[in-house]
Chains A and B, each alone.
Chain A
């Protein structure tokens, strides 16, 4: 089934910070020591995308669940909450 998560994220309200709250600790690790790259699948907002030779992070749509942090087999994701007041803002919740 083809479904675009962008259409879903479009429904949400975000107060986007200028800086990302998500970082890869060692970008090399994702290619040298990670065959499965689960971040590309488990993230409910599809924040992690595979570019040619790197994984890009579209932190703007992060739903702040934490799955990438604990799902990364190499613990290669530095994860903090967006600064106070930034990030997703639930309308209904």
Chain B
């Protein structure tokens, strides 16, 4: 390609497209390179997007027919042992009305395509089926463009935004991010199960258009640091499970077998009954947190979204951090265009903006959380059984005095986890999120 661009963006996901929208809005000549046949064809996540983040990019996204599956009105958190489970549920009228679309589910194949169409209508050029294989640099080491797997594949740009996702051979090849360590990502598998819309409404107690998220912790990840989820789409459910990749390798557990066990759990099986499997996918979650965020910009380039490891594991927020970082990258590039300075110095505004925003403030706040999970495996083995056993004993009515029951419960818990360790766990948990 002989044409030159102001900005080349690698990846048409939430981060890349957010940046493209901000730039194209201001008339900046922008190209987005996407390796999939269409935007979203390679992308997947649990399923939840956040209205606030999207609104910052496309204020009238609802009117523009954003392909929303269901507005989330209820969030559940379940703690499961092998044969039992307890759940906390939060439902709020606010999420039906004033805070509608605070969170909503989407399928990425449709959403990303729609999102990219918005950027295209603003004037960004979206080129699909094109893998960026390398970055072009000048003698001084400044990034001056990208190399693609097309025949005439080199493309010159003033600045390059890397938004190519968590699995980025490009970041590795160019040295902009060290190779991912297995302990810093979770491997998740997900299945989409088709179920008629009315049955989902009935089963989850929601009106058409409204939905439920269910985060699931406990024995289902077989003692590995991990989490599972069940989200409602319009006429399908997304069910998935993931765990730390280093744990998978150590334990030699097959991800899809773990998914099947989850689907058979007595708390889950009735919710997905008669669901017809439609699609099976796998993806990483950048769970390493603040300590694994790479250098966010340099001479001629910036990194945003999953590619920059921007993910809040505790609050399952990622798509919003991708959109927010993409937007801030776009604003920084506009500033750099004004100064005609695309050096590391000229792009530092990006780091400042991220540091001031909730993106890095939240990741910083929870920087101890990833290692807390890694070093307190009782959360995933032992504690789920103890907690569920306590619930079962307190709910069993068979003439045994309650005091004796309590004693038996404490004895059983102590045999699994020493009381001091339990105290330590509570203290460490608080410290990791305060």
Chain B, Cβ-Cβ closest to A75: B179
Chain B interface mostly: mixed
CB distance from A4 to the nearest CB of B (A): 9
A residues 53-93 in Cβ contact with B at 8 Å: 63-67, 69-71, 73, 79-85, 87-93
* CB pair B261 A90 closer than 8 Å: no
* CB pair A92 B192 closer than 8 Å: yes
Interface size class of B (residues with CB under 8 A): 35 or more
* CB pair A1 B257 closer than 8 Å: yes
B residues 181-211 in Cβ contact with A at 8 Å: 181-182, 185, 187, 189, 191-192
B residues 31-45 in Cβ contact with A at 8 Å: 35-37, 40-44
Q: What is the CA–CA distance of A23 and B129 in the complex, to the nearest angstrom? A: 22
Contacts of A46 in B (CB 8 A): 254, 256
Contacts of B254 in A (CB 8 A): 5, 41-42, 46
B residues 210-269 in Cβ contact with A at 8 Å: 233, 236, 245, 248-249, 252-257, 260-261, 264
B107 on interface, CB distance cutoff 8 Å: yes
Option from A36, A64, A65, A80 in Cβ contact (under 8 Å) with B187: A65
Contacts of B169 in A (CB 8 A): 66, 69, 79-81
* CB pair B167 A90 closer than 8 Å: no
Chain B, Cβ-Cβ closest to A87: B42
* CB pair B252 A1 closer than 8 Å: no
Interface residues of B (CB under 8 A from A): 35-37, 40-44, 107-112, 128-131, 133, 148-150, 167, 169, 179-182, 185, 187, 189, 191-192, 233, 236, 245, 248-249, 252-257, 260-261, 264, 277-284
18 A-B pairs within 8 Å (CB atoms) are namely A8-B277, A12-B279, A12-B280, A41-B248, A41-B252, A42-B249, A44-B189, A64-B42, A65-B282, A65-B283, A70-B180, A70-B182, A83-B149, A84-B149, A84-B150, A85-B128, A92-B278, A93-B281
